[in-house]
Amino acid sequence: MREVVINLTYLLASAMFVFGLKGLTHPRSAVRGNLTGAVGMLLAIAVTLFDQRIIGFEMIIAGAIVGGLIGAVFAIKIQMTAMPQMVALFNGFGGAASVLVAGAALIESGLVDITGSMTQLVVATVASGIIGSVTFWGSLIAFLKLWEKLIPGGAIHFPGQQVVNALLAVVCVVLGALIIIDPTQISLYWILALVAGVMGILLTIPIGGADMPVVIALLNSYSGLAATATGFVLSNNVLIIAGSLVGASGLILTSIMCKAMNRSLANVLFGTLAPAEGSATADEVYAGKVKAASPEEVAMLFDTAQRVVIVPGYGMAVAQAQHVVRDLANFLTSQKGAVVEYAIHPVAGRMPGHMNVLLAEANVEYDQLKEMDEINPTLETVDVAMVIGANDVVNPVARTDPKSPIAGMPIIDVDKCRTVVIVKRSLSPGFAGIPNPLFAADNTLMMFGDGKKALLELLSALKEG
Amino acid sequence: MEAFVVALTIFVLAIFVGFEVITKVPPTLHTPLMSGSNAISGITVIGAILSAGTKLTTLTTVLGFLAVVFATINVVGGFMVTHRMLEMFRRK
């Protein structure tokens, strides 16, 4: 009877996770959705404590206090710009938990009767060990890359990388087979986790810069799949269901991010971005054609603008300019009667949806945030487009030059707007390492300078004029 | 074997449900979706609780304890930070 109640509660929790995620389909229902998921989790945890096999609670309570405190401090203190690092780290913790739980279950299986079949337990343990360990170590590298304090954020390549990865994968398979043949070889499991960990590190170090959103989404998916594998280890349906939901979510986001860069997942994971032979150099593109404008000149432009579109990039967040951008937009709306919208490229931030969170934090209205596909067909009627800290995502070369490394990547077509203002420190290239002809276009003005400072000057010029 | 097929059925159906629900989440909410689903993947805490509480050996207890710590960070941190972000989208 106790078993039945526990499993029915797990079913309820699973349903609440689905409803919780469903709530996230609209900002209005999202807060309630998240709370639904949290209550589902609480129910699942509470009912587990009634399991007959539990003989003492002190280690559970101690672990929950330590983990709860660390999690709460992270959640309260984290800056929104640092959200990608935190999600990367949390993905890793999920993977680590799966490795540890599966390892413990393997040891326990040799000591007491198990619920499901032994073959299922052992095979799933191997899967859990591999996926979980790749997730943990890969996420740790992703975290360090995004944090940029200990290791640089760019891609790191070494010769024979692919061969080493393939060898490690073979070793994992062999070790896995040995464990399945003789499940009492517990030490082999930890060696397997170690080898998979090295593989996780090596798979993540060659990925950097603009590809980070893909990696975080993929690791998010892995952390879910690791939980699913652990569900098979324990023959526990709520783990299988919850893990599958997360796995599906991560896969969808991964595919969206890849499409937004017009690259295949294999290309992101194993390929390199290099400027094509014979493409135009910066000098050829920019020489004598770039027009610089002062904040006062740009202010005059905005004076008569009816429709304004702001294109933010991660550079805006680095310069901490999002609050000034909002003040500027509000001034244009309230004092000049202009319609102001934000055009958001899917890879504008460092993780899926990151730019939207940064703008929401600066109190930008949800309705003003427009997706690329939604705003692109209307850009011809825009008087002024202002690009702040973005580069590759507005580079028209993506449409025109099939040999370019960003060829075919969907971009925000600001070059079709009547006037384009670029706020940028210099003419330096973006992650793709190629010059941007937009900067030299007839209808483009460059407002050079630090994003925040330049925009503050622009705002005060507008207020005076 | 029969139990495995049941578990596999649940797995496949849950993947389909996940795809159906999550494709409807707008790009604006993709970051909260990631942190929220992160919290849900902390469901491993259930397995961790069982290992930490059944105390079969010292090693499994320690492994269970560590897993409880990691998974609880995920659960508590994930749901809390998602709530914090979603509040930003809601306020007017």
A321-347: average pLDDT: 94
Assess whether pLDDT exceeds 80 at residue A274: no
| Token pair of A40 as six digits | 């589902």
Containing structural domain, residue B48:
28-90
**pLDDT band at residue A356 under the 50/70/90 scheme:** very high
A50-64: average pLDDT: 96
Chain A contact probe: residue of B2, B30, B65 with most A CBs at under 10 A: B30
Whether A58 and A196 map to the same domain: the answer is no
Per the domain annotation, does B18 fall within a domain?
Answer: no
Chain B contact probe: residue of A100, A341, A359, A371 with most B CBs at under 10 A: A100
User: How far, CA to CA in Å, does A97 sit from each of A85, A138, B68?
Assistant: 19, 14, 7
Whether A6 and A90 map to the same domain: the answer is no
Question: Does the beta-carbon distance from B7 to A240 stay under 8 Å?
Answer: yes
This model of the complex carries an ipTM of 0.97
Chain A contact probe: residue of B1, B46, B60 with most A CBs at under 10 A: B46
User: What residues contact B51, with CB distance under 8 A and at least 6 apart?
Assistant: A101, A104, A105, A108, B60, B61, B63, B64, B67
Of all residues in chain B, the one with the smallest CA distance to A232 is B7
Whether A342 and A450 map to the same domain: the answer is yes
pLDDT score, position A379: 95
Chain A residue numbers touching B41 (CB-CB < 8 A) = 91, 94, 223-224, 226-227, 242-243, 246
User: What average pLDDT does the structure give for chain A?
Assistant: 93
pLDDT in tens, A199-240: 999 999 998 878 889 999 999 999 999 999 999 999 999 999
CA-CA-CA-CA dihedral for B3, B4, B5, B10, to nearest 10: 90
Chain centre distance of CA A1:
43
Name the A residues in 99-158 with CB < 8 Å from any B CB.
Answer: 100-101, 103-105, 107-108, 111-112, 116-117, 120
Edge-first strand order for the sheet with A369-371 is A369-371, A339-344, A307-312, A384-388, A419-424, A444-448
Under 8 Å between Cβ of A434 and A275? yes
A167/A357 Cα distance (integer angstroms): 41
Question: Which residue type occupies A68?
Answer: G
What are the b/e assignments for A96-111, b being 16+ CB within 10 Å? bbbbbbbbbbbbbbee
B10/A292 Cα distance (integer angstroms): 61
Of all residues in chain B, the one with the smallest CA distance to A356 is B28
Whether A260 and A343 map to the same domain: the answer is no
**Which of A77, A102, A133 marks a domain boundary?**
A77
What are the b/e assignments for A183-220, b being 16+ CB within 10 Å? beeeebbebbbebbbbbbbbbbbbbbbbbbbbbbbbbb
0.90 exceeded by pTM: yes
pLDDT in tens, A237-263: 999 999 999 999 999 999 999 999 888
Name the A residues in 420-459 with CB < 8 Å from any B CB.
Answer: none
Catalytic residue among A392, A401, A413, A442: A392
pLDDT in tens, A66-123: 999 999 999 999 999 999 999 999 999 999 999 999 999 999 999 988 877 899 999 9
Whether A440 and A295 map to the same domain: the answer is yes
pLDDT in tens, A123-159: 999 999 999 999 999 999 999 999 888 888 788 888 8
Whether A355 and A243 map to the same domain: the answer is no
**Which of A270, A300, A318 marks a domain boundary?**
A270
Per the domain annotation, does A276 fall within a domain?
Answer: no
Extended strands (E) in A279-361: 307-312, 339-344
pLDDT in tens, A383-436: 999 999 999 999 999 999 888 888 889 999 999 999 999 999 889 888 888 899
Domain count, chain A: 3
Whether A315 and A328 map to the same domain: the answer is yes
Containing structural domain, residue A51:
1-77
Domain count, chain B: 1
pLDDT score, position B31: 96
Strand (E) or helix (H) holding B15: helix B2-22
pLDDT score, position B92: 52
Per the domain annotation, does A294 fall within a domain?
Answer: yes
* A–B CB contacts, 8 A cutoff, strictly below: 371
Per the domain annotation, does A208 fall within a domain?
Answer: yes
Per the domain annotation, does B20 fall within a domain?
Answer: no
A213–B contact, CB cutoff 8 A: no
**Which of A232, A249, A270 marks a domain boundary?**
A270
User: How far, CA to CA in Å, does A451 sit from each of A300, A319, A422, A427, A464?
Assistant: 19, 6, 10, 14, 20
pLDDT in tens, B4-56: 999 999 999 999 999 999 999 999 999 999 999 999 999 999 999 999 999 99
User: What residues contact A301, with CB distance under 8 A and at least 6 apart?
Assistant: A384, A419, A421, A445
In the numeric block, the tokens 């000591």 are attached to: A111
A392 classed as catalytic: yes
- Candidate from B50, B69, B74 with C-beta closest to A63: B69
Whether A170 and A233 map to the same domain: the answer is yes
Under 8 Å between Cβ of B68 and B45? yes
A417: CATH: 3.40.50.1220
Question: Does the beta-carbon distance from B54 to A53 stay under 8 Å?
Answer: yes
Question: Does the beta-carbon distance from A351 to B43 stay under 8 Å?
Answer: no
**pLDDT band at residue A349 under the 50/70/90 scheme:** confident
Whether A13 and A139 map to the same domain: the answer is no
